[in-house]
Structure formats: structure tokens, C-alpha cells
Amino acid sequence: MLVLSAADIANVVATFSPDLLTGMMAFVFVGMTGKDGVQCPQRTTVTSSNYDALIMPSSIDTLGTAVKIVCVPKERTIHGLPASTLLLDKKTGALRALINASSLTALRTGAGSALATNLVGPTVPHVLLCFGAGKQTDAHIDILLRAFPSFNHCIIVNRTKNDRLAMLHSSLERRFPDVQFTLGCAVEGIGLDAFDLQHAVEAADVICTATSSKKPLFQSQWVKVGTHINLVGSYTPHMAEVDDALIRRAGRVLVDSKYACLHEAGELLSAGISMDEMVEVGEITHVDGTGLHDEVIRLKSAGDITIFKSVGIATQDNVIAHAVVDKATSMGIGTHIPAYD
């Protein structure tokens, strides 16, 4: 059995390009839409006094079975969400690998958003606006700035200017010295400390939300025509990062999974979006990540903005876990437990 720590994961994924990551997600989404050889039951939640444990199993015939467990603390923390993925041997079912999945959850979500942005977003975006300061925001900014060199300004909005925001800002400035970064604070759609939230939203070409908010982060009328929005924070019917009006402006909403979003996407449920008004990414892309032209045009013409809603699906974790284990093995990274069975 192979054990991969957080440090091991960081060394491995540093070798993954945006094209490789978005290609993985295209493979996932096309497989989910076709359903051939794919099993991805709805996530199970086990509640305790201190956290909710989300259990996400999946099986892909060509790869194997994986089970991810991510814990969401009941109280806010600066340490992120603890997560682990168990990878089973394709033939025997024995445990092949135990993987620290804390950063992988954010990485695969960011890769899905980057794929969606590439398919239906503006071709030459300049201003990126992100809500949140956790690993999801970091992953989204990192892959989007690498995938779209045209970005020259990134605005990060958080509830407070805390240590986590400061550390994120410092890290991003080191990685992307040619990009201007602006920090702001806002709560429930109201800018704080003289931060002009409306101006930030109006300037954005791409918006990413990665928060646990139950109330809209900004007003729909501030979003300019042609903007693309990635909504990845909410995963229950009672969470919503944007208002109903914004959802309706899209006409049809791009999603990772219709079934999952119909049960878990608070924004879509609140806006009364039916399954017929959702379009899965797998319906508009080839397995290599290039768009199906007519389907892309049909989606983009349904409204004056585009929206991608992701609640996260277990097959994303499965594919990236296999890729990480294969790469770690080839690089000689990780700790082997020879007598586990």
C-alpha cells in the first residue's frame, strides 16, 4: 500500500499542467454524462458534534474504485477541510493507496471550473474576482491565471482581512508577479472598510465563489453582460452564494451533474431551475476538453451571462487520485506499507 502525505501530493501535482488537469475533468464529465462503466452514488453525510463527514464513493470501470471522506467542521477554521481518499486495487479490491486529499479536492474543483470557463467564458478575460480565501480560492486563482495569461488583475474578497487572506495574497504575489492583486472585505453583499464591492463586480470578466454563504455575495444587476461565473461553494439546499435573478439571467446553467445539483445546489433550487434548464459539461465537450461547437453556442445564447455550478462529484476525486498515485509511483514519491494486508 502507498501512503501519500500532503507534502507528497504537493510535489506530485506541481508537475500537472492546466491542460492535463482540465483534460482529466473532461474525461470525468463526459463519462458522467454517458454513464457507461461509471458508478457515482450521491454523497452520504454522517453528522457528529464537531463536524460533518461527507463520504463520496465512485467506480470507473477503466480505472477502479475510490472512496473520499472529507470533514466539514461546525466552526470556522484556518486549517482547511481534512480529507482522505482510499484507492482500491482494480482486480482484488485491496487497499492500493491512502491519499491526503485536502488539496486535491480544491485542485479538481478548480480544474472543473477552468474547463467550464474555457468552454463558455470570455476568450480573453482580464479581471478575475474571487470570493473566499481558502484552498478552493487558491486553487481557482492558480489554475485560471495559468490557463488564461490574459488575466492581469485579480480581486479577492473575504469576510475579514485575516491571516489566511494575508498568506494567500503573499503566496499568489510570489507565483504571479505580473498580476495586480486587490484585497477587499464584504459581508452579505455589502463592502466593508471603504471597499467598493459594486465596482469590483462590475469590472470582473470571470467571477468565482468558494464560500459557505447562505446569502447572496453580490447583486445580480452589478454583473456585466458576458461575464462567466463559477459557483463552487454551496453543496446543500440551504446554501446560496448568489441571488435567484443572477441564476435566471443565464437562461440555462452549466453543471457538473444534473442529478447532484437537483438535490444539492441551493442556488438552483431557490431559483426553481429544472433539470431541463441544466446542461452537463459532458454534453458540450469532447473527451479531450474541446467544445462541441453547436452545443456551446446554444448554451451561451440562452442568456446574457454564463454560469457553471459545481457541487463536486466523486468521479473527479477518483480520476485525480489515480493520476496522482500513478505519477507518485513513477517519481518514487510516498511511503510504502509492505505488510498492510
What digits encode the pLDDT tens for the residues 247-266?
999 999 999 999 999 999 99
**pLDDT at 75 (0 to 100):** 77
pLDDT tens per residue, range 70-102 = 998 877 666 667 899 999 999 999 999 999 998
Residues of the chain with CATH 3.40.50.720: 110-312
pLDDT band at 167 (very low <50, low <70, confident <90, very high): very high
Per DSSP (E only), the strands in the chain are 2-4, 38-39, 44-47, 51-60, 64-73, 83-88, 95-100, 127-131, 153-158, 180-187, 190-192, 206-209, 228-231, 253-255, 278-280, 306-309, 335-336
Residue in 198, 250, 239, 235 with CA at minimum distance from that of residue 311: 235
**pLDDT at 303 (0 to 100):** 97
Of 39-48, 103-112, 204-213, which range is least confident?
Answer: 39-48
**pLDDT at 81 (0 to 100):** 77
Gap between the Cα atoms of 148 and 159, Å rounded: 27
pLDDT tens per residue, range 120-140 = 999 999 999 999 999 999 999
Of 113-117, 138-142, 196-200, 335-339, which range is least confident?
Answer: 335-339
**pLDDT at 80 (0 to 100):** 66
CATH number among 3.30.565.10, 2.70.160.11, 3.40.50.800, 3.40.50.720, domain 110-312: 3.40.50.720
Residues of the chain with CATH 3.30.1780.10: 2-104+315-336
CATH number of 2-104+315-336: 3.30.1780.10
pLDDT band at 43 (very low <50, low <70, confident <90, very high): confident
Beta bridge partners of 279: 254
Gap between the Cα atoms of 300 and 250, Å rounded: 8
pLDDT band at 173 (very low <50, low <70, confident <90, very high): very high
CA dihedral angle for residue 229, residue 77, residue 3, residue 47, rounded to 10 degrees: -90
Asked whether 68 and 43 are in contact (CB, 8 A), the reply is no
